[in-house]
């Protein structure tokens, strides 16, 4: 049997971006002493934010409220920081991008805005960082099961 470290198991990710303030929060969470064993990286943390927000109807409502109020007031020339997300959560973002609340006659928010909003909503939740780390573990287990790795 091939040693698990010897083979290349790097999961593919999708390159995207998140606005600076929210990216800084993800980076702080990455550096947090609570982020250990395993130490989740930015793709794990961003994917966890997306899963937390887009998998729960109440958090989806918070996302739309955030985008149509606080996000709309921010400087539209703000540039995002490059980051990556796992494909399963990127599909959730694409579904949100195609949702009725983001279609005509409503204003259209770009994928970067939805991702930024997911992080912003998570930041606003009490114990948001803990929730993200727990969700990152759940996402890791789901990816492992999807690739046929044994999870006990």
pLDDT tens digits along 100-129: 999 999 999 999 999 999 999 999 999 989
* DSSP 3-state percent helix, strand, coil across the chain (nearest 5): 55, 10, 35
**Residue 147: inside a domain, yes or no?**
no
pLDDT tier at 152 (50, 70, 90 boundaries)? low
Helix (H, G, I), strand (E, B) or coil at 101: helix
Residue 149 lies in a domain: no
Domain ranges, residue 113:
14-142
Q: Is pLDDT of 2 > 90?
A: no
- Segment 48-74, tens digit of pLDDT: 999 999 999 999 999 999 999 999 988
Check if the beta carbon of residue 120 is closer than 8 Å to that of residue 69: no
- Domain assignment present for 26: yes
Tell me if 71 is assigned to some domain.
yes
Flag whether 100 is in a domain: yes
Q: Work out how many domains the chain is built from and give that number.
A: 1
Write the burial class of residue 82 (CB in 10 Å: 0-12 exposed, 13-18 middle, 19+ buried): exposed
Q: Is residue 27 part of a domain?
A: yes
In the structure encoding, which two tokens stand for residue 69, read together? 């109020």
- Domain for residue 5, yes or no? no
Quick one: pLDDT at residue 5? 47
Residue 60 maps to a domain: yes
């Amino acid at each position: 049997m091939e040693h698990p470290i010897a083979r290349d198991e790097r999961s593919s990710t999708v390159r995207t971006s998140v606005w600076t303030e929210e990216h800084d929060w993800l980076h702080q969470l990455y550096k947090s002493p609570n982020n250990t064993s395993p130490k989740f990286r930015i793709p794990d943390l961003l994917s966890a934010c997306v899963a937390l927000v887009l998998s729960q109807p109440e958090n989806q409502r918070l996302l739309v409220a955030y985008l149509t109020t606080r996000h709309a007031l921010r400087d539209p020339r703000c540039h995002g920081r490059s980051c990556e997300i796992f494909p399963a959560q990127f599909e959730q973002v694409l579904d949100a991008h195609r949702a009725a609340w983001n279609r005509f006659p409503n204003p259209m928010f770009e994928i970067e805005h939805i991702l930024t909003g997911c992080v912003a909503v998570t930041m606003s939740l009490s114990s948001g960082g803990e929730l993200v780390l727990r969700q990152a573990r759940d996402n890791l287990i789901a990816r492992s099961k999807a690739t046929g790795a044994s999870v006990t």
